[in-house]
Structure 1
Amino acid sequence: MKSLLVTLGFALTASVLPAHAADPLTGTLQKIDQANSITIGHRESSMPFSYYDDQQKPIGYSMDLCAAVVEGIKQKLNKPELKVQYQPVNSSNRIALVKNGTVDIECGSTANYLERQKEVAFSYSTFWVSKRFIVKSDTPYNSIDDLAGKPVVVTQGTDTALLIRKLNDERKLGMRIQSGKDHAESLLMVTTGRAAAFMEDDILVSSIRAKEQDPSSLKLLSDSFGGDPYALMFRKDDPQFKALVDHTLADLMSNGKADSLYSKWFLGPILPNNITINFEMPARLKELFVQPSDKASS
């Protein structure tokens, strides 16, 4: 096994399987080799996974994981000067941009669902989330039942939109479901009173609250729903590229670098303004770091 140390605020190890070294390049690796360039899809406001810093540079936990993947690709292709390009994506276009070749790998906050696997492929799981509501602290809402008949918002194109409609129908709550174009707009609808609550992955709403000027002005409701894995996303039917991505992630998980990345982005101060999300590692993610899996949610 070959290893290449890269710096991501500390040394990460990215390695490639020697069994692939002599294999003819196919799929995404062939595309990257021929173009001498890889395009990374990133989010603009999905803190702390993938978002812009104050210099409009994409940073985050998922971006650091993808940086390790890029180093593995450089070694595999023997292209230390491989160009890295960045393409912003959102919940509505991320799958399409991966499928049509605009983006080679999406490094954001995308859940791995069986339905999505009909169109794209996913790496080993990199995070584990549940869904929760965020509301203004001065409102009387404490659970989903308190939102009956109220306007609530979800970000368009997300899996959360499907879940909230299902919950609304099953519980006969009569919530009036609205859509924001991205997480920033969805939160704005809550803070300006156009929606009573915003539902999203627990870590994302925790991150959104942490970067508010007054985090205490927002609260998370106690109810949580479901449990889903996040993963890096790329084109399907490309076993060579998937093997490289998965092997890189497994290496980070086994040597402790993934734990260090987690602490960096979820427990320590981060840009902008050195905010701290203070989100303890979910028990399921601890298990996935020990036994990596690309199993999807149904």
Structure 2
Amino acid sequence: MKHFTVLVRIVLAWSALLAAGAGAHAQNGDTLAKVAETATINLGHRESSVPFSYYDNKRQVVGYSHELMLKMLDGIRAELRLPALTIKLVPVTPQNRIPLVQNGTVDIECGSTTHNEERARQVAFSTSIFVIGTRLMTNRRSGIRDFPDLAGRSVVVTAATTSERLLRTFNERIGGTINIVIAKDHGESFQLLELGRAEAFMMDDALLYGERAKAQQPEDWIVVGSPMSAEAYGCMMRRGDVAFKKVVDRELTRLMQSGEALKIYTKWFQRPIPPKGLNLNWPPSDALLELYRAPTDKPL
């Protein structure tokens, strides 16, 4: 019994050392070393960013960004010569996604995160994976067709997004007549729109079409307005982790220039998707096709 107790203590101590080592690698920005040591990578994902990263009817994570990441991880597996790689899925929100990357809880987050200079001071971004414009969704009978029509209206926007910042700036410019409603995620934003708590939903155009795909009556909702901004999505990693970023960028570039990324785009934007089987019918933009031809990690 005494020998058994000693053995248990040794095993526990060794496990603690392994965990501490993995944590140290994460804090030091050496993600590849941590993954090689633990054969595990922590992938941050969104819960309701249709069609980029979200739960389907069976609570499985699916979407354009998520599928790109799974393909990219094949390159990580080959780089490290790992026979198997455990992917730990970590749900994130607009509010906690950056802190979870910074503190090592998440090794890489890939959903619908805009790459801008402010965020680039906190985390590193991969080669861009998508290009969007910031627009509005509204009921086709609302009379709203562009941003100037929002004066005196209630507009919902998801918290801690670039769209929230843009909407607040626009509201100040027109005298503060917009009633801004804040929701915790895109799903809640669209729910408030459907319930009549807001007359328009401001967000990235691709996400608006994704929320429309979940509606009870998709034909009631239209996406309108000249884009207030053009933005690039990227995957977030810890700053200073040069080796990890190099592998991620290399694999994403391979997917784009080989045509594989375009096939993934077609699957999620031009074919029926969960949860209701609606086809977004959204051809790739010229800006996205140019990104596939010449991948870059620069913000727009």
User: Is 1:256 matched with 2:259?
Assistant: yes
Structure 2 gap segments, 5+ residues each: 1-27
User: Is 1:165 matched with 2:164?
Assistant: no
1:132 corresponds to which residue? Answer: 135
2:30 corresponds to which residue? Answer: 27
Equivalent of 2:293 in 267, 272, 290: 290
1:6 corresponds to which residue? Answer: none
User: Is 1:209 matched with 2:206?
Assistant: no
Structure 1 gap segments, 5+ residues each: 1-24
2:107 corresponds to which residue? Answer: 104
User: Is 1:235 matched with 2:238?
Assistant: yes
Equivalent of 1:244 in 231, 243, 247: 247
Distance in 2 between the 1:223 and 1:287 partners?
Answer: 21
Distance in 2 between the 1:26 and 1:90 partners?
Answer: 22
Distance in 2 between the 1:163 and 1:26 partners?
Answer: 32
Report the structure, 1 or 2, having the larger helix content: 2
1:122 corresponds to which residue? Answer: 125
Q: CA deviation at 1:236?
A: 1.0
Equivalent of 1:43 in 41, 46, 63: 46
Distance in 1 between the 2:299 and 2:107 partners?
Answer: 20
Q: CA deviation at 1:186?
A: 0.8
TM-score between both structures, scaled by the size of structure 1: 0.88
Equivalent of 2:221 in 209, 218, 223: 218
2:5 corresponds to which residue? Answer: none
Letter in 1 for 2:85: L
Q: What is the identity percentage for the equivalent residue pairs of Structure 1 and Structure 2? A: 41
User: Is 1:72 matched with 2:82?
Assistant: no
TM-score between both structures, scaled by the size of structure 2: 0.88
Equivalent of 2:61 in 46, 49, 58: 58
User: Is 1:142 matched with 2:145?
Assistant: yes
2:183 corresponds to which residue? Answer: 180
2:154 corresponds to which residue? Answer: 151
Mapped contact 1:26–1:240 kept (Cα < 8 A): no
Mapped contact 1:147–1:173 kept (Cα < 8 A): no
Distance in 1 between the 2:29 and 2:91 partners?
Answer: 26
SS at match of 2:275: coil
Mapped contact 1:266–1:280 kept (Cα < 8 A): yes
Mapped contact 2:94–2:160 kept (Cα < 8 A): yes
Q: CA deviation at 1:157?
A: 1.0
Q: CA deviation at 1:87?
A: 0.6
Mapped contact 2:151–2:174 kept (Cα < 8 A): no
Letter in 1 for 2:257: S
Distance in 2 between the 1:83 and 1:143 partners?
Answer: 46
Structure whose CA Rg is larger: 2
Report the structure, 1 or 2, having the larger strand content: 1
Letter in 1 for 2:272: P
Alignment size in residue pairs: 273
Distance in 2 between the 1:231 and 1:279 partners?
Answer: 20
SS at match of 1:108: coil
Q: CA deviation at 1:172?
A: 2.8
Runs of 4+ in 1 over 6 A off after TM superposition: none
Q: CA deviation at 1:173?
A: 5.2
Q: Over aligned residue pairs, what C-alpha RMSD do you find?
A: 1.4
